[in-house]
Amino acid sequence: MSKKLQPVLVLNGPNLGRLGKRQPEIYGHTTLNELAAMCVDWGHGLGFAADVRQTNHEGDMVDWLNAAADKETPVVLNAGAWTHYSYAIYDACAQLTAPLVEVHISEPLERPEVFRHTSVITPHAVAVVAGKGLDGYREALEVVAAQLGSR
């Protein structure tokens, strides 16, 4: 009998569906579908059933975070631009009881736009993984695994 995999949500916000096309000098050439497959593989190796999602609609993200709160599902979150100003996502993240790891492909603090230097997600996250490219998602999943192992 095989062990049941722990569900984990890997949530991506606006414009991340454009990975591979949008500013490849910052975000690389890997598509969201390719990233999703990598997250599923990385997650499986850690005992997770990774459910990778992306939306450009804030209400969808809030609904997903609320469902994660209700089901006590861990979350890896790249909220994209919402990271810097969405109090609706801030409030949804505040409800999470399972580990939340904030992830960014680039390092927001090194970006020239000052608005990128503030995160409304960080106060609710057990860790922030930034500036490590797509490999940051693997590291974020490892953080979730470590957090769950310490419970």
Q: Which residues are catalytic?
A: 27, 104
106 is in an annotated binding site: yes
Integer angstrom CA distances of residue 44 from 4, 29, 77, 80 = 11, 24, 18, 25
**Half-sphere exposure for 29 (CA within 13 Å, toward CB):** 0
Integer angstrom CA distances of residue 148 from 48, 57, 66, 119 = 11, 29, 20, 24
Q: DSSP state, 72?
A: T
53 is in an annotated binding site: no
121 is in an annotated binding site: no
105 is in an annotated binding site: yes
What is the secondary structure of 79-140 as a DSSP string? Answer: -GGGGGT-HHHHHHHHT--S-EEEEESS-GGGSS-GGGG--SSGGG-SEEEESSTTHHHHHH
91 is in an annotated binding site: yes
84 is in an annotated binding site: yes
**71: closest CA among 102, 91, 97, 39?**
97
Binding site as annotated, residues: 78, 84, 91, 105-106, 116
Binding site as annotated, residues for substrate: 78, 84, 91, 105-106, 116
